[in-house]
Structure 1
């Protein structure tokens, strides 16, 4: 701690990202990265943007990201989404940061689950936002009725993280319709790994001006290294985010990120193939874990949340790490006996299961 720190900095408890260990022959199942490469069209678009000599990099990128906004709107065209409904930013984390500052900073506290994305309370600390953490049910599901109370805004992931549980669209609509005077933010980082018949909350945007849906290209498009996120909502909500962005950084997305993101959104065949592969592997992983005595929370994400009936989660995580297999263990109330395991390739998940057989 330094005398030069501001009071805000002294009071912060920063977010701790998933570990990025440098181990040989690592099976990395701790940060929910997609195990498959991104769309070849995205890679080609990035290379094309560079050109032979990279001269394009001397020029600033489009500050508005108009092509990317159009690509997002086209992807959701069936829900009457237009570019004016879209905001783009440097990762969904940055988009969420602008959301907290621009839409969730009011006199009343905001609401979110007690077990959820741990960046939410960090944003509250950074921006001085009061919050109330509402308990999940015993099965880790979000109780929609609990959110029908006075508040300064509501945010929750769907599927929730780190549990992976999905809140049905009807329950989301109940929360949105029951809070007409508050912004409801649905953080859909993992929605693309839900069953094909499960719609995004974007389907509700045209009917509810208080709904904002945030997504990322890090997970289902395998572009975690490119850092691209977006939000979809009523143009007045989008305008608030643009005002914050243009008071912070007018050029949040570089030329390569914009080119790759547009191409990735356009390549629906690759998107469908890789998400289907992850979902199929997830089903096999759940079955294998259950055979080994794990209880697995129903997951609609590219990870599973599991606990063993007789073995300590921390000890299991340590024993796996000794075998160069990394999973996520949260030392937090209610979930300290659970492991969050990213769905990797079939080979990676088989290596995990074989290691667990040895350990158990």
Structure 2
């Protein structure tokens, strides 16, 4: 870092993304991307004619995408705000609903950006430990009188709370916003979107990166009470009014409309997840009951760091977190059946060594 960096930023530890090798020599099971290409409708929407319009600014109101999303989720357009990936929506939410005197409560094992953003925005962190089995007890969040964020399903564990459990947290914190990060909800979770009209303090964040194959397009949605969305737009238009590019707006609209492709690819990932879990357990692994597009797995036969390194040497990337409580666990993205077979073959060789 330079000598000019502020003291505040010097104290921030940035988030570490999963490895993104550019030579594509690896089977990439480390960043929870979809193994399938975007919908053919997306390819048609991102046309040459649209590319030629890149000389023009995108629509800051995102009107066409909002209409499509509102119809898809059964909401009104003013209850939705698109973001440059769900990360931007989450960041805007923390900027809007937290500050030096309004902490953020979140789990000790969850998405790492929550803590990073707290450091960046001078927000006190109220870290709530998961149970020994990595489950989240909703009662731990009752009456905290703080903004709350819950990844549901959680990452990296993949475990999910039922909608009723989230509803209990909403009822117990009527004067604070409860943010539900649903990045992985389409793989077996229960979305809280149906609760939006009942709870003015509910903000749901979803992404197009996982179940709609648009990780590289950077698109997410914040959904909630119209007044909450107005708060987020206040942040957006103070920082980055043209936050969604023209091609991503078209791609997102097309992806939402192609429900058949969405259902087909989602079902394929869920089926492959179940098979992979069975295969790992047959090899002595412990796997949590994932409702996401990854598995969280551990074995006593090799420690997590060593297993990660050995797999990388054999051309398979998975995610290892050198962190308390989970250092012996690996997060394994669900790829195609062929990719998962390659993972298992590599594991068999490593475990025989």
What is the TM-score with the length of structure 2 in the denominator? Answer: 0.97
The DSSP-based 3-state class of the residue aligned with 2:47 is: helix
SS in 2 for 1:186: strand
Cα deviations across residues 229-264 of structure 1 (Å, max 9, x unaligned)?
111000110001000000001100111000010000
Q: Given the alignment of the two structures, is residue 209 of structure 1 paired with residue 200 of structure 2, yes or no?
A: yes
- 3-state DSSP of counterpart to 1:67: helix
* Correspondence for 2:334: 343
Equivalent residue for 2:55? 58
Name the counterpart of 1:281.
Answer: 272
Structure 2 stretches of 5 or more lacking a match?
none
Q: Secondary structure at the match of 1:341?
A: strand
Is there any run of 5+ residues in structure 1 with no aligned partner, and where?
Answer: none
Matching residue within 215, 222, 227 for 1:231: 222
Distance 1:307 1:235 in 2: 43
Q: In the aligned structure 1, how far is the partner of 2:49 from the partner of 2:104?
A: 42
1:88 aligns to what? Answer: 82
2:70 aligns with one of 73, 80, 83: 73
Give the TM-score taking structure 1 as reference length: 0.95
For 1:137, the equivalent position in structure 2 comes to 131
In the other structure, the counterpart of 2:13 is 13
RMSD of aligned residue pairs (Cα, Å): 1.1
User: 1:90 & 1:211 partners in 2: Cα distance?
Assistant: 21
Q: What's the counterpart of residue 127 of structure 1?
A: 121
Q: CA deviation at 1:142?
A: 0.8
Per-residue deviation, 1:217: 0.2
Alignment of 1:177 with 2:165, yes or no, is no
Deviation string 1:26-69 (CA, Å, 9 cap, x unpaired) is 1000000000001000111011552xxx4311111100111111
C-alpha contact (below 8 Å) 1:112/1:132 kept by paired residues = yes
Distance 1:250 1:325, change over 3 A: same
SS at 1:246 equivalent = helix
- Tell me whether 1:167 sits opposite 2:164 in the alignment: no
How many angstroms apart in 2 are the aligned matches of 1:111 and 1:263? 36
Deviates more, 1:23-32 or 1:111-120: 23-32
1:112 paired residue number: 106
Moved over 4 A (4+): none
**Does residue 284 of structure 2 align to residue 293 of structure 1?**
yes
The question of whether the paired residues in 2 share the 8 Å contact of 1:109 and 1:132 is answered with yes
For residues 115 and 338 of structure 2, the distance between their equivalents in structure 1, rounded to whole angstroms, comes to: 36
Question: How many equivalent pairs are there?
Answer: 351
Q: Is the 8 A contact 2:104 2:118 kept in 1?
A: no
